[in-house]
A and B are shown apart, each in its own frame.
Chain A
């Protein structure tokens, strides 16, 4: 449980001894940690009183895992990491990167093309009924998170402002669409930009007073604002209907030409055979939503890439690397931060409006701090600043947790009451910690500042403190 890597200077039997000692220690510590929480379980009996349930077998398994894991880390992984690090250091600094092949250079376009044909391919492969699950649960769900994470990436990844209340802007977008369409009958395509504008407006309102704060203070204030917005949504029952949520949020239409309501005069379903109508209309709606969110993601990516090459984007990245240097070079840090904050919030608002149209039902439950943490985890795990890395992280994390529901064989392994979904957030949290400790600048890829004055230094900024080196 100590340091991750130790230099392998000792002979190997000495290493074995050390590994055994460390493993034993890890076992003792984990025994102490888990003995109360895992070994004993508090459950309610029939009279609704708490009783203790003994689970020593599970405790033994966990402790054994800790012992074996620690042994392997110290005995095998430690030397391997050290050797790799030495090899990396030995390589010449600033060596030319290997030439990228066609596949690597055009990975974004290839992914976009694959996503374009994805719903049709699914429809053709598994039929309209089963394709629903793939297009909606996997495709749309993941793309919503990609969009949110790309939006948050502008704030966290590019400008280096830790925003723990990002979900507030998602909520603003969702409630803007739901309430305005219900109370005033406005359509999705009118409200989508409006939701983004409102969210950006809230970003400015919330951002303006707090942006003078230092990084971690800012994090806590944004968290507080996120919670305030959620509490207002819960308690302002006259407008938001509180915890019951807003039901019957209208569906999106194809630019007002065709509607996806079954009974509407211009229903899209009228184009199909009468007996196939209802299920086809439903999957057509999901496929339509898939393309909408795909287009929204593409716009987000395009805007981010363009902004990164503009003066404001350069200023964001400079701000992330060193705020004091930025200020001494005459960059107005307040407006720079504020633009990042409001543009990020705007994309959150777009995603929120889309979410409301897709669900047809929203409640404050969807906008808890955990949601913010998930989005942040995707941004961090993907490598802050890297669009491609974030997209991969979203596919792995969101798709992975969706796939957890499918793993029925785990039930036969761990017993019928085993619910893998419960472990979703636990795995999320662990992944956040492990990736951060092993690769502080992201699992998938690293996004260095777009503009460099000189050649890259031997020590990357990931290894130095802010404001140093």
Chain B
């Protein structure tokens, strides 16, 4: 039983990170109906921004508190991933709006290759380990829970609440939802559609930046290829929860995290990615609208 609870805690932590990345997929898919394939690599850029900022802080500023350091790292990661995502949208996706549907998907794959190879070329292909930042561990009734796990879940809850508020209560969120429903009509009503789409990309990317910092703090290592597998898993989470739905992305992320950690615990660790990918295929085949999504009506 304790083992199960332990694995559940690990799964929830992992799932929070996936959920945060999944928000980026789900928001972009919701608004322009496109799989932003490079989002996983934007997350990886966030991880590297946090890593480099960590090294700057440890080498230049002595004796900085861990909390302040995490905040600066997170801010850097948010700024970097947002900037990159904004530029990518401008260069690779916006010129193809209104082209045939596979076109932006192909540029997105191209961008994903560019980003991971850019980091491989500039930062080198090796793993980048950092010393552990947060080491406190609490033991409650035979179950250990570390401070970094609590932090990750807490930050996820805070970020999700903030995003839920922005999307449902502010005028920006209203503009986003209007653009999602009917781009032409939204434009006629005075919404700057291009700007709204850009902001959506930036919002998703900033969450990816937060997720990147959390990932670095949790695992203490970064590699250029880190974007691919977490990216596909987060996309799976977005699809599982119902693509286009914010609570769905979080729910999907948590489910994927739980499935992954429980599968590794009780079946085989080697096939945990196979389990995730199979779930993606099964969900798409039997319930393409996901758990919380609305079924899509095909318009002619």
Residues on A close to B: CB < 8 A?
A: 1-4, 29, 32-33, 36-38, 40-44, 50-52, 156, 160, 162, 164, 209-210, 212-213, 215-217, 219-221, 223-225, 227-228, 231-232, 234-235, 324, 369-370, 373, 376-377, 380, 422-423, 425-426, 428-433, 436-437, 440, 461-467
Contacts and interface: CB of A to CB of B under 8 A. Distances in A.
B96 A440 contact: yes
23 contacts: A29-B83, A36-B49, A37-B118, A41-B123, A42-B124, A52-B52, A213-B285, A216-B101, A225-B281, A227-B232, A232-B274, A235-B270, A376-B106, A426-B117, A428-B110, A428-B113, A429-B112, A433-B91, A436-B103, A436-B110, A437-B91, A440-B103, A461-B100
Interface of B: 34-35, 45, 48-49, 51-53, 55-56, 59, 76, 79-80, 83-84, 87, 90-92, 94-96, 98-103, 105-107, 109-114, 117-124, 126, 128-130, 228, 232, 235-236, 239, 268, 270-271, 273-274, 277-278, 280-281, 284-285, 288, 298, 300
A227 B273 contact: yes
B137 to A, nearest CB: 24
A33 B100 contact: no
Given A4-B95, A221-B284, A432-B109, A467 B300 contact: yes
Contacts of B98: 463, 465
Contacts of B114: 426, 429-430, 433
A2 B100 contact: no
Judged by DSSP, the binding face of B is: helix
B49 A433 contact: no
Contact of A466 (B79, B92, B101, B277): B101
B128 A32 contact: no
Ranked nearest first, the 5 interchain pairs of A and B with the lowest CB-CB distance are A432-B110, A429-B113, A429-B114, A224-B277, A426-B117
Nearest to A324: B300
Contacts of A221: 280-281, 284-285
Contacts of B128: 42, 50
A444 to B, nearest CB: 16
Contacts of B235: 220
Contact of B35 (A2, A219, A431, A467): A219
Given A32-B83, A224-B281, A52 B113 contact: no
A219 B53 CA distance: 36
A219 B101 CA distance: 12
Given A42-B51, A429-B114, A432-B106, A36 B76 contact: yes
Nearest to A328: B300
Contact of A215 (B101, B126, B285): B101
Given A43-B124, A209-B285, A429 B232 contact: no
Q: Which has the most chain B C-beta neighbours within 10 Å: A41, A215, A216, A377?
A: A216
Given A36-B49, A52-B55, 6 more contacts: A3-B94, A37-B49, A217-B288, A235-B271, A423-B121, A432-B106
Given A215-B102, A432-B106, A209 B121 contact: no
Contacts of B35: 216, 219-220
Contacts of B83: 29, 32-33
A42 B59 CA distance: 12
Contacts of B122: 37-38, 41
A352 B258 CA distance: 37
B84 A433 contact: no
B281 A37 contact: no
A223 B105 CA distance: 13
Contacts of B55: 40, 42, 50-52
Q: Which has the most chain A C-beta neighbours within 10 Å: B90, B94, B109, B129?
A: B109
Nearest to B114: A429
Nearest to A232: B274
Contacts of B119: 37
Given A162-B105, A432-B106, A432-B113, A50 B130 contact: yes
Nearest to B90: A1
Contacts of A217: 239, 284, 288
Contacts of A219: 35, 102, 105
